[in-house]
DNA sequence: TTATAATGTCATGTT
DNA sequence: CTAACATGACATTAT
């Protein structure tokens, strides 16, 4: 041990780690005779799953829960579940730094996107929000409900159009639940058909998608960078993760780790922030930026660097967004109060964002007269308690479209039609104002629960015509939206983010490579033993390296107490043994000099109490002479692990020697039963000897079995961990896909809705007058034609069906 | 000295 | 039935 200590000082370890980090492979193992597989891990990077902490955590909790594949029963099932939970919890423990970097990475692109989106586009904002939900579920949770409905910020619509007709925005925003319900509107087949039939305009369906892809790509790219630091940390961490012989190095390296854990504190803090929500982060930055009293003291400096970093890229977003609100909150309030205020603000904001999409069609009855004020900073309304701001926006899109492109640009924002994005703010308003009254009335009577269905469901006899057609798509959409919500909830529950999953991927990779080692490492003692024993069994004179090493071990000092214990144990086991042993120890030195007695070579154990130091002197030459090839290796590994090795062969070896068993324990244990019996037959052994031999064989086999069992258990745990991570990756991927689909569906709904209104607004009756949307709706005819029908003709059952669906959603 | 991880041992069940 | 193996529970050892 001292030998190793001497060379593996902290500095050396650091150096090796450094080398490993830069890709230089330092194979110390070869120099250490592969006695310490951990060294390889230390240098080349450990298996995170194999760290001591983890293992023992698992093991402690797993005791009694075998994971043996054969026992596939309830116990196994529950044990597996426990394991999974354990693994997950472990995962969480590991994640902090990961999560932090993930957040940072994710936040920047997202903020950029959302910043762009918030200014004028609903969909971009939606993307941002969705991504945020995916990757930062806690954040969503913090915002209450967290289910992000499409945000159409500047328009300030409320989704609750039907229920809250005429109700002002604040009320809407308070009703988060209704948002959820209302967002589950259905894209019916009629709607699709409507698109096919009526919509021939060139709308870039992929625009929104592109935005999404962009952000996601950004995120992935960024995330790719994340694993590095974490892996590094693992690499350091892994040094702790070894056992016994290597623990010394582990400790030394631990000092390093401590150095890093110092950093981990801020990371955890930052992670805390990241988990709360992105909005929270913005709040943080806001606090720092807005309040001159410099609450940075309240927020550890360790946090602020990470937090500030992204802030530089999005000052316009958060500050510009919220700063107008902040003055309202009193700076004199204590920090807690300020936080509460800000959280409240953020909630409002989120709700607004969520409600924006559908609210665009909701235009309130108060009429959008103040739009002009909104445009410069539409988001100002978010924080304002007064209902008016949102109402102002109401009629934005209700105007009879002078041109489709204009309306679409208004509705879908820059993503859908980037060309018009610039125009929307300016050109929109006049148009809207002119028609505001009409529009308001129109939408006042319209069921806006759905983005585009409202007309169909609310006002027309459509249901009679093609009620069945709605169902498939309705249910589909419903399902999609609900799933989205549930998935988000799920994600929130797990505290699981996409970026996190990506890192898990990397972790998994590293683990997979290391798991092999891990399986070997614990078995290394046993494997060496078995290999030795097998070889020894073939040649009787050969000595197991393990045993010979013991001989090299100069344990004369501690051997005495051990012997005493041993004797006590033996005595309890078989009383006469103790006497025997004591007597036999006298003869140990003699035994050792008898070459034909294999025991001699292995069991230096004997040197113990009675054997003098000179006896030990004899042993070493004996051993080295037998295994010259291994001498160097032994020299290297024997010294550090002498205790370990001594322990391995002590008891039964000693007993056997004491009983003068004429063959090695290796043979006793590993010979096939026939050969074993032959061996017993060859020698005339006493009952005591036979009993001891049988016990040695039984114990020896059981020892190996136990080692195998533990190894299997560990492998099982590792495999489960891998499975969990794999499942997580899949889940993340599916979640991502789902979000994408939901987003696409949402966009489709918006388009259908706008198309619907466009068509309806362009229609003129015989007198050239437009059909008020409040009184008329488009319906499918039985033959697929589109009819303008008075809403009064819509049968009651349609509404009932609609309500039923909504209840179902609830 | 105590805590904890690693290993050994036993009892029991399974193959 | 025996031998071998597997495994939970406990004991011992090592650090």
Successive 10-residue mean pLDDT values, chain A, 810 residues: 34 42 40 34 31 30 32 37 43 35 32 33 33 34 32 31 31 34 38 37 32 32 32 32 30 31 32 36 42 35 33 34 33 40 41 36 34 33 32 31 33 34 34 34 33 35 34 39 44 40 36 33 33 33 32 29 33 30 29 30 28 28 28 32 43 80 85 88 87 89 91 88 92 97 96 90 87 86 85 64 51
- Determine whether the distance from the CB of A38 to the nearest atom of strand B is below 7 Å: no
Note whether A99 and A500 are within 8 A (CB).
Answer: yes
- Give the pLDDT of residue A729: 96
Q: Give Cβ neighbours of residue A479 (< 8 Å, ≥ 6 apart).
A: none
Q: Which nucleotide is nearest to A242 (CA to C1')?
A: B5
Q: Give the three-state DSSP class for A312.
A: coil
Q: Give Cβ neighbours of residue A190 (< 8 Å, ≥ 6 apart).
A: A456, A462, A466, A469, A470, A779, A780
- Residue A93's Cβ-count burial label (10 Å; 0-12, 13-18, 19+) is exposed
- Give the pLDDT of residue A655: 80
Q: Note the strand C nucleotides within 7 A of protein beta carbons.
A: 3-9, 12-15
- Residue A256's Cβ-count burial label (10 Å; 0-12, 13-18, 19+) is middle
As beta bridge partners, residue A788 has A778
Q: Which nucleotide is nearest to A52 (CA to C1')?
A: B5
- Give the pLDDT of residue A746: 96
- Determine whether the distance from the CB of A247 to the nearest atom of strand B is below 7 Å: no
Tell me which residue has tokens 């114990």.
Answer: A699
Nearest to A116 by CA among A312, A317, A277, A281: A317
- Give the pLDDT of residue A651: 73
Q: Which nucleotide is nearest to A644 (CA to C1')?
A: C14
CA-CA distance, A315 to A126, in Å (whole number)? Answer: 20
As beta bridge partners, residue A764 has A770
- Give the pLDDT of residue A728: 95
Q: Give the three-state DSSP class for A373.
A: helix
Q: Which nucleotide is nearest to A707 (CA to C1')?
A: B7
- Determine whether the distance from the CB of A713 to the nearest atom of strand C is below 7 Å: yes
- Determine whether the distance from the CB of A706 to the nearest atom of strand B is below 7 Å: yes
CA-CA distance, A542 to A595, in Å (whole number)? Answer: 11
Task: Return the domain boundaries, chain A.
Answer: 106-220+269-370+394-500+739-809, 523-712
CA-CA distance, A147 to A157, in Å (whole number)? Answer: 17
Q: Note the strand B nucleotides within 7 A of protein beta carbons.
A: 4-11, 14-15
Note whether A529 and A648 are within 8 A (CB).
Answer: yes
Nearest to A798 by CA among A442, A362, A465: A465
């Amino acid at each position: 041990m001292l030998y190793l200590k001497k060379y593996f000082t902290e500095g050396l370890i650091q150096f090796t780690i450094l080398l490993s980090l830069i890709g230089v492979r330092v194979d110390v193992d070869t120099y250490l005779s592969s006695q310490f597989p951990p060294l390889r891990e230390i240098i080349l990077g450990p298996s995170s799953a194999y760290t001591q902490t983890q293992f023992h955590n698992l093991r402690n909790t797993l005791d009694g829960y075998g994971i043996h594949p054969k026992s596939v029963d309830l116990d196994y099932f529950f044990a597996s579940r426990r394991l999974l939970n354990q693994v997950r919890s472990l995962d969480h423990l590991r994640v902090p730094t990961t999560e932090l970097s993930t957040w940072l990475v994710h936040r920047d692109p997202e903020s950029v996107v959302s910043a762009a989106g918030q200014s004028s586009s609903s969909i971009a904002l939606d993307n941002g929000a969705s991504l945020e939900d995916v990757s930062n579920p806690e954040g969503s949770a913090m915002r209450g409900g967290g289910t992000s409905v499409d945000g159409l910020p500047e328009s300030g619509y409320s989704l609750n159009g039907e229920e809250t007709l005429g109700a002002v925005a604040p009320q809407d925003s308070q009703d988060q639940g209704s948002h959820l319900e209302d967002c589950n509107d259905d894209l019916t087949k009629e709607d699709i058909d409507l698109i096919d039939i009526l919509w021939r305009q060139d709308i870039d369906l992929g625009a929104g998608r592109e935005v999404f892809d962009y952000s996601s790509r950004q995120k992935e790219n960024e995330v790719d960078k994340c694993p590095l630091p974490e892996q590094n940390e693992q690499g350091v961490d892994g040094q702790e993760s070894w056992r016994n012989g290597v623990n010394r190095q582990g400790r030394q390296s631990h000092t390093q780790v401590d150095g890093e854990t110092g950093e981990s504190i801020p990371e955890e803090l930052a992670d805390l922030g990241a988990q709360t929500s992105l909005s929270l982060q913005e709040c943080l930055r806001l606090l720092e930026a807005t309040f001159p009293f410099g609450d940075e003291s309240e927020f550890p400096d360790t946090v602020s660097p990470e937090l500030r970093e992204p802030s530089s890229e999005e000052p316009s977003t958060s500050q510009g967004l919220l700063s107008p609100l902040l003055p309202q909150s009193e700076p004199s309030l204590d920090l807690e109060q300020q936080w509460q205020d800000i959280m409240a603000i953020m909630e409002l904001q989120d709700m607004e964002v969520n409600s924006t999409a559908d609210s665009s069609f909701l235009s309130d009855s108060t009429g959008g007269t103040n739009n002009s004020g909104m445009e410069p900073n539409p988001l100002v309304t978010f924080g304002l308690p007064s209902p008016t701001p949102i109402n102002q926006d109401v009629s934005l899109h209700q105007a009879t479209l002078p041109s489709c492109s204009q309306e679409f640009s208004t509705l879908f924002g820059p993503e859908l039609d980037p060309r018009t994005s610039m125009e929307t703010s300016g050109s929109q308003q006049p148009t809207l104002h002119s028609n505001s009254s009409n529009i308001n009335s129109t939408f006042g009577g319209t069921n806006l629960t759905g983005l585009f269905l409202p007309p169909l469901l609310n006002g027309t006899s459509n249901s009679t015509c093609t009620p069945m057609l709605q169902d498939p798509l309705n249910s589909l959409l419903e399902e999609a939206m609900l799933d989205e919500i549930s998935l988000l909830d799920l994600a929130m529950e797990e505290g699981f983010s996409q970026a996190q999953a990506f890192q898990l991927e990397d972790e998994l990779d590293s683990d997979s490579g290391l798991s092999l080692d891990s399986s070997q490492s614990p078995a290394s003692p046993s494997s060496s033993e078995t290999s030795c024993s097998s070889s020894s069994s073939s040649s009787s004179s050969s000595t197991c390296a393990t045993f010979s090493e013991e001989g090299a071990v100069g344990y004369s000092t501690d051997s005495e107490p051990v012997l005493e214990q041993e004797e006590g144990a033996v005595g309890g086991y078989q009383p006469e043994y103790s006497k025997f042993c004591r007597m036999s120890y006298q003869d140990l030195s003699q035994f050792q000099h008898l070459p034909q007695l294999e025991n001699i070579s292995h069991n230096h154990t004997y040197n113990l109490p009675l054997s003098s130091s000179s006896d030990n002197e004899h042993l070493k030459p004996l051993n080295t002479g037998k295994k010259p090839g291994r001498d160097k290796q032994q020299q290297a590994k024997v010294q550090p692990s002498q205790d370990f090795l001594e322990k391995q062969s002590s008891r039964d070896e000693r007993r056997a020697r004491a009983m003068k068993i004429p063959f090695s324990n290796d043979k006793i244990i590993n010979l096939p039963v026939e050969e074993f019996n032959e061996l017993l037959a060859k020698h005339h052994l006493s009952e005591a000897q036979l009993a001891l031999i049988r016990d040695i064989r039984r114990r020896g086999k059981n020892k190996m079995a136990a080692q195998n069992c533990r190894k299997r258990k560990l492998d099982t745990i590792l495999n489960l961990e891998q499975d969990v991570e794999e499942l997580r990756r899949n889940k993340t991927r599916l979640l991502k896909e789902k979000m994408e689909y939901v987003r696409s569906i949402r966009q489709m709904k918006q388009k259908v809705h706008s198309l619907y209104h466009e068509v309806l607004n362009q229609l003129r009756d015989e007198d050239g007058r437009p059909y008020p949307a409040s009184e008329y709706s488009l319906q499918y005819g039985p033959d697929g034609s589109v009819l303008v029908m008075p809403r009064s003709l819509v049968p009651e059952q349609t509404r009932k069906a609609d309500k039923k669906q909504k209840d179902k959603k609830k």
